[in-house]
Each structure stands twice: as C-alpha cells, then as structure tokens.
Chains A and B, each alone.
Chain A
Amino acid sequence: MSKPLIGVILGAALGVVDGLTAWFTPAVRDQLGGIVIGSTLKGIIAGIAIGFFAKKFHSLPIGILFGVLVGAFLAFLVALMQGGYYFEIILPGTMVGLIVGFATQKYGNSPATVN
C-alpha cells in the first residue's frame, strides 16, 4: 500500500469518527450528516498532503511535525468557519495530523530509488 493511500484511508477513518462524535452534542445532532462529510473531507485532504510528504521525505520526526502542522491548520480553518470552539476543534485536528504523520512514515511502500 502506498503512503498517500495510507494517509487517505487513515485520514478518512479518523474524519468519520471525528464527525460522529457530534452526535453527543444534541444541538448539532440534526446536522450530523453534513458534519461527518465535512470532517471526512478534512481528513482526506490532510491524509493526501501528509501521505505525499511522507513519500518524498523519509523522516519520522519531520513527518510527524508536518502532520501536526497540516492537521492544526485545517482544523484552524474549520474553527474559523465555526466562529468558536478553537481549542476543541484544533486539538483533535492536530492529533489526527500527528497520527497520520506517524503512520505514513512508519508504514506503506516507498518508491524505489533509481541511481
């Protein structure tokens, strides 16, 4: 499995879980479908970016740092659109970036180097 594909799968899976936790908030429960789709898209975008980065750069610390930055940035944009809950949105988003950054560095096939 390629690194970008791992990023997409993991990002999407965590995005779905992320969206589903909105069910615990009764005020937004009727918008659950849209929230799940939005958070899944966010996860996929983060997964693609982090996965391609991992394909180019093979370094666990740098991969994790990149993941954290991408996750935090995308979550910041979402929080900006929400107009609040910055901490509650950015912290889990950062965590998703960290997980995807770790997974894409550790797993998945790298393209063979041609000398």
Chain B
Amino acid sequence: MKWLSDDRLDHLRALVADPDFSSTKYTFVKELARGGMGTVYLAEDTELDRLIAIKVLNTPDVTGDLRGRMVREAQIIARLEHPGIVPVHDVGVLPDGRVFYAMKYVRGSRLDEYAAENSSIRDRLRKFQAVCDAVAFAHAHGVIHRDLKPQNIMIGSFGEVLVLDWGVAKILGRGFSRLDTDWVQGTIIGTRDYMAPEQARGEVEQLDERADIYSLGAVLYFLLTNKLPGEARPRSVNPAISRAAEAICLKAMARSAGERYSSASDLSADVGHLLDAEPVSAYRESALEKVSRWTSKNRFLVLLVLAYLLMRIFFAFTSRP
C-alpha cells in the first residue's frame, strides 16, 4: 500500500472542492474568500479575457431555498447600478447544481486592511463618505444591506470604494418590487459588533434604513479608533479625534433608531462638514470652539492679519516724532 502525503491529500481535496466551470465561459484561478453561504473564487472570463470574481454556493441546494437567495442577491446587486456597488455580470448553475454569479473582480484591499496601513483620519473619512453615498443610493432604491462592516467594503487600487456582500440585504419594496420573501421574524442577521440593537433582537420586519445607519456609525467608530465598536466613547479610545467626529459617530450609533441620522445622505453630509471644518448637526460647539475651528480653517489669513497688527504696533512705537 502506498501512503499519500498530507500535501498530496490537501491537493486532492482542493481539486474535488474546486468548482467545475467546464460548462461556462470561465476558468478557475484560485479561491478568494469563503463565507457561510458561498465561496468567492477568482476566475478568468475566457471570452472577454479578463479576471472576474465568482460567488458559488458552498453546497448543491436540495430545497432550492439557498439558490433562491443567491439569485436574489445577484438580482439586488444587478439593479443597484452605482460606482460604489460592485456590478454583477452573470448568473448561472454549475454542472453539480450549485448556483453562481459572476461579478467585477476588485483589486485592492478591504477597509480594515486599508485602515491598518496608517491612512490618515481625513482620508478614512473621505472613504467613509463614499460608503455612505453607496448605501444612500441603495436605500433610495429600497434596499438595506444589513451587514455593513469594514470586511464588506473594498478600496480599489485607484482609491475607489465598493460595498460588497449584499447576500442578506432586505428589500423594503420601495423603488423596485420585492424579489423574495425575507428571513422570518426572530432571525438574527448580520455581524454582532456592527449590528443595530433592533437587528440583534431579531426584529426582521421592523428593520429599516436606520439599521444600516447604525452599522455605518460602527464602521466610523472603527475608522476613528482602529478598534471594534464597543461601549467606550471614541475619544476615550483615541483622544486625537475631535468632539464633532465623536458626536457624529455616537449619533449614528444611537441605541434608539429615532435618534440616529434619518438617512445615509445626512450622515455623509455631516462628515463632509467635518472635513470642511464647518459646523456639524450632531454637535453644538461652544463660542471658543467656533473661534478655534474658524481660526484653524483660515490659518493663513489670521497669520497675515496678526503680522499686520504687529507691524502697525511696531511702527506706532518706533516712529514717534
């Protein structure tokens, strides 16, 4: 009897597990990521001669439920044509019965990896604004993501921001018709650290855009502190961030949905005001803070005026007759 080495066994296991794309125009390249419902592979589109990402169900679907969800996810993404949402190219079924959909292959890094590369807070806030804009677009079309987190956001090699993984998205029935029935009441969907309280309670039917606003706030918390969202206020984790930035984050992450921003666009606008050194709706600043913000925004003009005043005083004392 001849024994096989572990490496050889792993190789054979991988060969069996790898999807069979022979009936499609795609050729397998490598596995990119594995999730609960499906696995994402890098593949080559032989017709168009380009790399694409293909999400394939992990197991052949006997009941048809998973297949329905996968097709539903592909349809949701296909309808959301936005630069911040990864486009879907194709949907199909593999010879082994597993459903797949092909989408744009994004070269770059995940938001958490991007943040780890010491990008500045300003740069992170700009990227965050782009995420808000993509989410606002989805909300305007009646889709809530329900699993927003840094791991589901990609930063492309040219700085473009793409929101991924719409597999657990909820259709609110506005903008376009319902595609499928949702999860039953009581099901907890999403990622614990980034999940709104009502989402964590499994209130599937009551969830609306504000659940995503909470998750966006949690993403902002991560970007400001480099830590998972928790009970500690952002400034106690990272004292370098401003009170206004903290206020935006806390307003988005309010436990009561009614106290959060009413839309992702409002959240994006407040972050924009913060970047432009303008007042933000989430924070009422003192007169001293107003002066300080104005001075820091108009530093050069203030320096010029101060230089002028010093010169006037100097001449007043030195040119006495």
Contact = CB atoms under 8 A, between A and B. Distances in A.
A26 B320 contact: yes
Contacts of A103: 301
Contacts of B321: 25, 27
A91 interface: yes
A31 interface: no
Nearest to A22: B316
Contact of B319 (A17, A23, A25, A26): A25
Interface in A86-111: 88, 91-92, 95-96, 98-99, 102-103, 106
Interface in A69-97: 85, 88, 91-92, 95-96
Given A17-B309, A27-B320, A27-B321, A99 B315 contact: no
Given A25-B316, A25-B321, A88-B315, 10 more contacts: A17-B312, A25-B319, A27-B320, A85-B319, A91-B311, A91-B315, A92-B311, A102-B300, A102-B304, A103-B301
B42 to A, nearest CB: 47
Contacts of B320: 24-27
Interface residues of B, number: 16
A27 B321 CA distance: 7
B236 to A, nearest CB: 37
Contacts of B312: 17-18, 21, 92
A2 to B, nearest CB: 18
Interface of A: 14, 17-18, 21-27, 85, 88, 91-92, 95-96, 98-99, 102-103, 106
B307 interface: yes
Question: Can you list the 10 inter-chain pairs with the closest CB atoms, starting with the nearest?
Answer: A24-B316, A21-B312, A21-B316, A88-B315, A88-B319, A95-B308, A99-B304, A27-B321, A25-B320, A92-B312
Interface in B80-120: none
23 contacts: A21-B315, A22-B316, A24-B313, A25-B316, A25-B319, A25-B320, A25-B321, A26-B320, A27-B320, A27-B321, A88-B315, A88-B319, A92-B308, A92-B311, A92-B315, A95-B304, A95-B311, A96-B308, A98-B304, A99-B301, A99-B304, A102-B301, A102-B304
Contacts of B300: 102
Contacts of A88: 315, 319
Q: Which of A22, A25, A85 has the most CB of B within 10 A?
A: A25
B319 A95 contact: no
Interface string B201-217: 00000000000000000
A25 B309 CA distance: 16
Interface string B239-250: 000000000000
